[in-house]
Amino acid sequence: MDVRYINAFIGSICKTFETMCRMPVTVGKPEKKGNNEPKTDVSSIIGFSGDAAGSVILHFSFDTAAKIATSFAGIEITPKHPDFADALGELANMVAGGAKCQFQGLNISVSLPNVIVGSNHNVSASKNSPRVIIPCSTEAGTFHVEIGMVLTQPAEAIRLGAQM
Amino acid sequence: MNILLVDDSRTIRNIQKNVLKQLGHTDIVEAEDGVIAYAIFSKQPPDLMLVDWNMPNMDGITLIRKVRETNKTIPIIMCTTEAEKSRVLEAIKAGVNNYIVKPFTVESLGEKISQTMAKATGAAAAS
Ligand SMILES: [Mg+2]
């Protein structure tokens, strides 16, 4: 995957968590998703369609997810709270939107958030598109952001790095 | 001052509600999609609308176009993750008065709400 896409997502992750959760994120080295897919308790998924197709997935443990949701909402959000999935879905929504606006020249639509909650699950995505895992660490614990995106039109049409 | 919050995320609506309460506004109605919001608007037009873009059933841009068919004056603020210039222009064309990109700080949200209300009140006083 083009490193510029990855950088757009990294920038958006940092901005989203700093702004909405007042939580600085330290981003580790992005790795290609291998065969041992990360086990996770909560996965917030946003799909992309249009000039690029794919998805971004935020993977959390229950503990980290609850701490992050609590910082975001400003009230205590446990995994049993009715807004638990809502909060984590909306964070994924912001990460997706912030990255998408950097892909100037591409017309991309985002899906509504889907959040999978279940102890120790994994999310299998299409083997046809390369997927990258970005490790992120915060004071609330670590989480992983998985991205996979393929262009549905030629790459020359894209100019990256533009900001509003 | 009656304010209608339209967003499919209850977490976002709660954050917006807290900001509005800090600004002294407590007359707040909520809708989780454009269909519900339009029904509320049709019964009793609010004094301000805060509208998300991506929602199920009816999205925010469709809602705003529908509202503007019959009401040109209600101040509408779009609050969305859609940050591309083309989207902002599309929203302005549809009739929004202000635009807030998520993620936002509570301070910036408060400022934009106050700004939009002050402008609307000024315009109403001038006419
Ligand atoms: Mg939404």
Asked if pLDDT for residue B127 goes beyond 70, the answer is no
pTM for this prediction: 0.94
- The answer regarding whether domain A3-156 maps to CATH 3.30.1330.200 reads no
> In B, which residues are within 8 Å of A15 by CB distance?
103
User: What residue ranges in A34-94 does DSSP mark as E strands?
Assistant: 40-50, 52-60
pLDDT for A129: 76
Choose from B8, B9, B11 for mutation: most chain A CBs within 10 A.
B11
B11 contacts A97? CB cut-off 8 A: no
A94 contacts B10? CB cut-off 8 A: no
For residue B103, the 8-state DSSP code is S
For chain A, domain boundaries: 3-156
> In B, which residues are within 8 Å of A89 by CB distance?
9
- Count interface pairs A-B at CB distance under 8 A: 64
Question: Are A73 and B15 spatial neighbours (Cβ–Cβ below 8 Å)?
Answer: yes
For chain B, domain boundaries: 2-126
Beta strands B28-31; A131-138: pairing state: unpaired
A15 contacts B103? CB cut-off 8 A: yes
CATH architecture of the region B2-126: 3-Layer(aba) Sandwich (3.40)
pLDDT for A1: 74
Question: A82 vs A151, which has greater pLDDT?
Answer: A82
Integer Cα distance of A157 and A148 in angstroms: 19
Instruction: Calculate mean pLDDT across residues A18-39.
Output: 89
ipTM of the complex in this document: 0.94
